[in-house]
Structures are given as C-alpha cells and as structure tokens.
Amino acid sequence: MTPHTVPALRLTALTGEDQRWRHRPLYAEIVHRAHAAGLAGASVFRGIEGFGASALVHTSRLLSVGDDLPVAIVVVDREDRIRSFLPQLDELLDRCLVTLDACEVLRPADPPQEKR
C-alpha cells in the first residue's frame, strides 16, 4: 500500500500561553471552537522562546524576563472547511496572529482488490 496526498490548508495561530478569552486560555478556546466546527484536528505546541508585537522576548530559560511562552495552535483540514471556520476567529484576532498555508496530507492508498 503506497500513500498518496490530498490537498489541505494549515491554519496556525500564534499567541502567548497567558492570553485569555473569557477566563479560558486562548489556545483552548481556539481548539474547542475547531472541535465544535467539526474540523479534522487541532494541536497546541508550546515554544521555548519567542517574541511578538510587544518586542519582549519570552523564554523558558531561568532568570528570564517573561514566563508567557509562545504557543502555536495548528489546525489542518480541507481548504473549504478551514476557510468557513475563519469567521469564528474574528473576535480573537487582536490576541493572536493567524497564518494560512497550503499543504498536503498523506493518505494511505486504497487496499488492493482481491482477485476472484
């Protein structure tokens, strides 16, 4: 069985782990909205160092200035499904940076048909 690819769109939201939306971590809010929208999947990745609009470097190193580490929320699905999800992020855009990238998802090929 050889895999083949299908086109997809990757949504990446970049924020800080301390960002909140109505008392919930912003990354959790985005994941729960993606789940409720029926998207294929979402993952949250915690960074060890980064900076954003504030220009303040946040790092996990001891004695660093900030503890608000960078977080990336990655959602992958078909382009039409990701694009229809975007309006659900409108009210959150002042708290994160969202990027979209075309990508391919590996899928296993159909199993070979048995000869009769």
Model confidence pLDDT, tens digit, residues 39-72: 999 999 998 877 766 666 666 665 555 577 899 9
Question: Do 14 and 72 meet the contact criterion of CB atoms below 8 Å apart?
Answer: yes
Could you tell me the pTM of the whole model? 0.82
Which ranges of the chain have pLDDT less than 50?
none
For 2-19, b where at least 16 C-beta lie within 10 A, e where not — what string?
A: eeeeeebbbbbbebbbee
CA 79 to chain centre: 14
